Amino acid sequence: MSQFQVPQFIETETKIVGPLTLKQFLYIGVASLISFFLFFVLQIWLWLIITVILGTAAAALAFIKFNGRPLPVILKSIVSYFWQPRMYLWQREDATLKLTEIRLPKAGQMSSPEGKTSIKSLWTKLLTTTAGIVGREKASPTALKQAQDSKDSSF
């Protein structure tokens, strides 16, 4: 059986330029290039303010993580949350409730359905008699026919 080498540290990005990954290097590099070109266009005091803002933003994008997730991923999630339409799965519908009145029979008027005895009376019959309850179960037509045939054949 051959052994395979299991890759480790798959969540760490490879370091390309010194201690920086490629993404980190690109964030810092793009901010530096923009600052370099603005140096020749703007006055020194305005260039310093914009360079500090760009450098801070680039450093934040390159190095800050919240709960193990990099800041660009979180910003992308925020933008997609506000940009994409939201779908609500449940919306309450205005439905009218139908109320029905339930009338309970009086205690003396309660009766069992036609042809059927109540469970309480069956239980009392079982407790008070030694004979079984006759007529509780109906015989199937085939059993009746077999019983009649057996009587006829015995004579």
Backbone angles phi, psi at 95, to 5 degrees: -120, 140
Angle, CA 79 vertex, CA 21 and CA 12 arms, to 5°:
20
Beta strands at 65-66 and 69-70: parallel, antiparallel or unpaired: antiparallel
Whether the pTM exceeds 0.85: the reply is no
Q: Is 7 helix (H, G, I), strand (E, B) or coil?
A: coil
- 């006759």: which residue's tokens? 134
DSSP class of residue 107? Answer: G
- The predicted-structure confidence for 29-69, as pLDDT tens digits, reads as follows 999 999 999 999 999 999 999 999 999 999 999 999 999 89
Q: DSSP of 65-77, one letter per residue?
A: EETTEEHHHHHHH
Top pLDDT among 37 and 116 is at: 37
